[in-house]
Chain A
Amino acid sequence: MLTKRIIACLDVDAGRVVKGVQFSSLRDAGDPAELALTHGLAGADEVVLLDISATYEHRSTLLDVVRRTARQLFIPFTVGGGIRSLDDAAAVFDAGADKVTVNSAALADPALITRIAHRYGSQAVIVAIDALRVSNGNRSGISFGVKATGGRHSTGRDAVEWANEAEKHGAGEIMLTSIDRDGTRSGFDCELTSAVVNTVNIPVIASGGAGAAEHFVEVFREGRADAALAASIFHLGVTPIGALKQDLVAAGIPMRWPC
């Protein structure tokens, strides 16, 4: 049967893997191509590489990293960070990526999603949404606001509403990151995840907060995510992918294991 996917994410700055907490304070965790290969061999279902520097001078470094990484990876490889145009996307696809993620640029111009999808297919376009819990004041409950530019700017948009709009523009998947949970290892935001999953028909990748196997079980069960993404717990060997997948199999979650 169709399995839930475990995705290893590499945040890359100037050609090195880094990892932050709640989108700030970075530390070096290694060479992207090597780490991607290691994670692939360990059982990752997909690899995502996010260029968090996304400044012009680091662009060619990024493409070189993408090329080196793609050369030895035979599982789906997604690249994102600073993709602002069809040309940016094309350069990344030419370097070997199978999918791209777009975030701030799509918020500013949703037609970008459509342009990339039209040329490469919807399956190649993931819309990344960074969301922050917002208390509703008078109304009971929580809603989720969308942040742009690496979590630095509030957009005033609602994450659920934006996810739906992204789908309508041709997004193939949603990559949903909880800014509140990112880097904390305290678990995914399952309410945020299920709020989006329940309203879109495309796959949703949960991101932000992974710390242990039970977090993944929760985000697949309660969150109803189709895939879950993690970074530092894999790079730093906190939760080896193989052990994680075995735990998930034991918990009855459909998994590609052994592989």
Chain B
Amino acid sequence: MIAIVDYQAGNLASVRKAFDHLGHEAAVTAEAEAISRADKIVLPGVGNFEATTALAGPLQEAVTEAIDREVPLLGICLGMQWMFESSQEAPQLRGLGLFRGECEKFPAEVKSPHVGWNQLQLRGVSRLLRGLPEASFVYFTHSYRAPLVEDTVAGCAYGGTFSAAVEHGQLFGVQFHPEKSGTAGLQLLRNFCEL
């Protein structure tokens, strides 16, 4: 069972629908207990980094405890940003710190938010992105972006290059929306299901 964490931040139905389509059981849940029992965890999220305060407490504990047991975790959009240390969008909050660095605004030279289809610049070997060709198009919609780190497996160019996907062990994060990225996105989610 894939647990999709509901912390009141975004359209969870799309994510669940994508897993349904792929034939994998997924449930949207706000229960720490369900997260603890999950085989895999998805942290979705759109909107402001402030929304991650809803994760503090039992949900965060269930997630970090599952991480210790090496349960695969996929952060999507805001969910991925929460896996970093912090975001300038809500500097008083702390993320999980699984990846180094702080999420930042786009520079003034480009329109923000970054909305639409952009391309992945693949880096190194990735289980999550297996089978995706270089320069695959995926769908982004965000105003803040995560820095490039050692664990970046895909960059994206928009106002400089930022992390489109990060991966370390059983931890995965994507800035774009795989549930909205057509066949490339479904392939990625299939890879996650088959880990």
Q: A interface vs B, CB < 8 Å?
A: 1-5, 40, 45, 70-72, 74-76, 93-94, 96, 98, 120-124, 172-173, 201-203, 226-227, 256, 259
Name the prevailing secondary structure of the A interface residues.
Answer: loop
- Contact status B119-A93, CB under 8 Å: no
State A227–B17 Cα separation when bound (angstroms).
26
- Contact status A76-B180, CB under 8 Å: yes
**A197 vs chain B, min Cβ distance (A):** 10
- Contact status B14-A98, CB under 8 Å: yes
B residues within 8 A CB of A75? 139, 180-182
| Choice from B10, B11, B116, B157 contacting A3 with Cβ under 8 Å | B116
Q: Closest A-chain residue to B117, C-beta based?
A: A256
- 13 CB-based A-B contacts, threshold 8 Å: A1-B157, A2-B114, A2-B118, A45-B117, A74-B180, A75-B180, A76-B180, A98-B180, A120-B46, A121-B46, A121-B48, A172-B113, A172-B115
B residues within 8 A CB of A93? 11, 13
A residues within 8 A CB of B112? 201
- Contact status B117-A2, CB under 8 Å: yes
Within 8 A of A (CB), among B100-153: 111-119, 137, 139, 141-142
- Contact status B113-A74, CB under 8 Å: no
A residues within 8 A CB of B11? 93, 98, 120, 124
Range for the number of chain B residues in contact with chain A: 20 to 34
Q: B interface vs A, CB < 8 Å?
A: 10-11, 13-14, 17-18, 21, 46-48, 111-119, 137, 139, 141-142, 157-158, 179-183, 185-186
State A38–B45 Cα separation when bound (angstroms).
29
A residues within 8 A CB of B185? 74
- Contact status B115-A256, CB under 8 Å: no
| Choice from A5, A45, A74, A256 contacting B18 with Cβ under 8 Å | A74
- Contact status B115-A123, CB under 8 Å: yes
- Contact status B13-A123, CB under 8 Å: no
State A202–B111 Cα separation when bound (angstroms).
7
State A202–B110 Cα separation when bound (angstroms).
11
A-B contact count (CB 8 A): 84
Known: A3-B137, A256-B137. A123 touches B113 (CB 8 A): yes
Q: Closest B-chain residue to A123, C-beta based?
A: B141
**A110 vs chain B, min Cβ distance (A):** 20
| Choice from B10, B17, B21, B180 contacting A121 with Cβ under 8 Å | B10
Q: Closest B-chain residue to A258, C-beta based?
A: B137
- Contact status B10-A1, CB under 8 Å: no
A-B contacts besides A40-B182, A172-B115, A201-B111, 18 pairs, CB < 8 Å = A1-B119, A2-B116, A45-B116, A45-B117, A71-B17, A74-B181, A75-B180, A98-B180, A121-B10, A121-B46, A123-B46, A123-B113, A123-B115, A124-B11, A172-B141, A173-B115, A226-B111, A226-B116
State A2–B118 Cα separation when bound (angstroms).
4
- Contact status B115-A203, CB under 8 Å: yes
**A99 vs chain B, min Cβ distance (A):** 9
A residues within 8 A CB of B180? 74-76, 98
A residues within 8 A CB of B13? 70, 93-94, 96
State A120–B44 Cα separation when bound (angstroms).
13
**B116 vs chain A, min Cβ distance (A):** 5
B residues within 8 A CB of A45? 116-117
Known: A74-B180, A120-B11. A1 touches B118 (CB 8 A): yes
State A45–B139 Cα separation when bound (angstroms).
9
State A211–B19 Cα separation when bound (angstroms).
38
- Contact status A2-B158, CB under 8 Å: yes
B residues within 8 A CB of A40? 182
State A43–B185 Cα separation when bound (angstroms).
14
Known: A74-B186, A96-B17. A121 touches B137 (CB 8 A): no
**B188 vs chain A, min Cβ distance (A):** 11
Query: Which of A4, A45, A76, A202 is most buried by chain B, counting CB atoms within 10 A of its CB?
Result: A76
A residues within 8 A CB of B46? 120-121, 123-124
B residues within 8 A CB of A96? 13-14, 17
